[in-house]
């Protein structure tokens, strides 16, 4: 008789509860796909008395998830606690040390401890699976690890945080401020009471670090990601982007360059014609550029109980199907000893096009002064747009008000170091009324 796969689920929040329901609902289909009965034998959560709408009769309850991980009642631990330290880390480490397979949705844990955990899983001969840690229900981990081994990946980038994409989508469509859209996102449950982790780009950075490892065979290096959030993006920037043929998205980008692997998270202008520009609201998208397949874009729900549970259950099914043959895939697509240290590329060395919005004093010679400083740093300007003050003609018959006005530049490819140096020189000349806005352009 075929043995069952016994699951211990640590964490019964939105995702954990959805996993329990999905396994019950899809029991027959999972058996047909894996040749093995998958059943939940143990659970752990902080509140034993909370009504989750689940039938947990006959399932062993553990107040301590580490005790669950060590229990002889489970073969595979599903860690849905969250966080890079504390109970989540202790639970996964205990499971691996006990020879248990692990399925997790915890991007923070993998971003900070992925290399050590992968080594521990390999030593124990068990699986450490994490499809749900990046982009929710989108199977991007499997695409990179199992679907593209014949490809050399040159770039992987995407919209990896639904909160930020929702805010930028609302700002663009309705002309609202960042603050107003954030408040609505919090009211709808798309943003936390403290939204810093999402809107300042750290959530995206954790996910990007995982994708970088899968795409380029490097050790996960969350500290090597340059991070910038969306809180400084203004409605004017979105209007100017629209006029210039772009949309603004918070992207995570990992790119192979001659100097090493760039890992960067920042607001980005993408052409309206690109697939990723069409992704609005809380939806996620990931694009892979590779030599054989060209450009591959995956789009879908990046969060939510059912979508994330879908990815978790897919990993559970893989564990169940591979148990009979004793197969265990390397965590990041290759043995941990083969993962090379990520050669970091500082953001100052990034080269590309830039959108620069300067708030300058509306007086003769300002645009020429800006252009001179740009030329000194060998920065070529593709286009320049200047908006006059509405009352300029009243104040000055020559159309110069002396009031602060926006001056927008689009550059050809330039290094970030040169762009920053030019902006410092422009500020030193006294031409700026406020700090400049700088947004990178990611062309197709």
Known binding residues for L-homoserine: 192
Binding-site positions read 10-17, 107, 192
Beta strands in 147-214 (DSSP E): 153-159
* Residue corresponding to tokens 């709808």: 188
- Active site annotation includes 119: no
How many angstroms separate the CA atoms of 162 and 164, rounded?
6
How many angstroms separate the CA atoms of 160 and 27, rounded?
31
* Residue 238, token pair as written in the block: 């979105």
Q: Tell me whether strands 76-79 and 101-104 are parallel, antiparallel or unpaired.
A: parallel
Binding-site positions for NADPH read 107
Q: Are 266 and 248 in contact (CB under 8 A)?
A: no
Active-site annotation holder among 89, 142, 207, 249: 207
Which ranges of 65-177 would DSSP assign to H, the alpha helix? 65-70, 86-97, 107-124, 140-142, 162-174
Number of residues written out for the chain: 444
Bridge partners of 411, per DSSP, are 381
Give the residue from 81, 112, 337, 204 showing the smallest Cα distance to 102: 81
- Residue 5: is it exposed, middle or buried by C-beta count within 10 angstroms (0-12/13-18/19+)? buried
Dihedral sign for Cα 135, 139, 144, 146, please. Answer: positive
Question: Starting at the edge strand that comes first in sequence, how are the strands of the sheet with 60-62 ordered?
Answer: 60-62, 38-44, 5-10, 76-79, 101-104, 128-129
Measured in whole angstroms, how far is the alpha carbon of residue 84 from the centre of its chain?
16
Q: In what helix (H) or strand (E) does residue 309 lie, and over which residues does it extend?
A: helix 305-323
Q: Is 300 helix (H, G, I), strand (E, B) or coil?
A: strand
Q: Alpha carbon of 349 to those of 9, 226, 410, 418: distances in Å?
A: 45, 12, 19, 9
* Residue corresponding to tokens 């406020």: 434
The catalytic residues are 207
């Amino acid at each position: 008789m075929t043995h069952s796969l016994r699951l211990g689920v640590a964490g019964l929040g939105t995702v954990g509860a959805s996993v329990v329901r999905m396994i019950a609902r899809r029991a027959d289909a999972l058996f047909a796909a894996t040749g093995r009965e998958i059943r939940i034998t143990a659970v752990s959560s902080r509140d034993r008395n909370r009504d989750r709408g689940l039938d947990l009769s006959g399932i062993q309850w553990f107040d301590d998830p580490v005790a669950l991980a060590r229990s002889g009642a489970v073969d595979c631990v599903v860690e849905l606690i969250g966080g890079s330290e504390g109970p989540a880390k202790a639970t996964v480490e205990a499971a691996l040390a006990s020879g248990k397979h692990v399925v997790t949705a915890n991007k923070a844990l993998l971003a900070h401890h992925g290399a050590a955990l992968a080594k521990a899983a390999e030593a124990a001969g068990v699986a450490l699976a994490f499809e749900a840690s990046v982009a929710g229900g989108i199977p991007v981990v499997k695409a990179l690890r199992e679907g593209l081994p014949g490809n050399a990946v040159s770039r992987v980038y995407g919209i990896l945080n639904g909160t930020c994409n929702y805010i930028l989508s609302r700002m663009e469509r309705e002309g609202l401020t960042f603050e107003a859209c954030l408040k609505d996102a919090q009211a709808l449950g798309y943003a936390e009471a403290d939204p810093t982790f999402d809107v300042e780009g750290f959530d995206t950075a954790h996910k990007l670090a995982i994708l970088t490892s899968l795409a380029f065979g490097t050790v996960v290096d969350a500290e090597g990601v340059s991070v910038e959030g969306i809180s400084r993006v203004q409605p004017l920037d979105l209007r100017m982007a629209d006029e210039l043929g772009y949309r603004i998205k918070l992207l995570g980008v990992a790119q192979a360059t001659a100097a090493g692997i760039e890992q960067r998270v920042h607001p980005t202008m993408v052409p309206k014609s690109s697939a990723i520009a069409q992704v609005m609201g809380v939806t996620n998208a990931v694009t892979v550029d590779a030599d054989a397949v060209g450009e591959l874009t995956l789009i879908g729900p990046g969060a939510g109980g059912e979508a994330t549970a879908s990815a978790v259950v897919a990993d559970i099914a893989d564990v169940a199907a591979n148990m009979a043959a004793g197969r265990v895939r390397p965590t990041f697509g290759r043995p941990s000893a083969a993962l090379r240290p990520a050669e970091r590329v500082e953001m100052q060395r990034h080269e590309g096009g830039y959108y620069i919005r300067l708030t300058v004093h509306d007086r003769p010679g300002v645009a020429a002064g800006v252009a001179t400083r740009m030329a000194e740093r060998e920065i070529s300007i593709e286009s320049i747009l200047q908006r006059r003050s509405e009352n300029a003609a009243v104040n000055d018959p020559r159309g110069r008000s002396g009031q602060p006005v926006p001056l927008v530049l689009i550059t050809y490819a330039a290094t970030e170091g040169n762009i920053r140096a030019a902006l410092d020189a422009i500020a030193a000349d006294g031409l700026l009324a406020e700090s400049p806005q700088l947004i990178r352009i990611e062309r197709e």
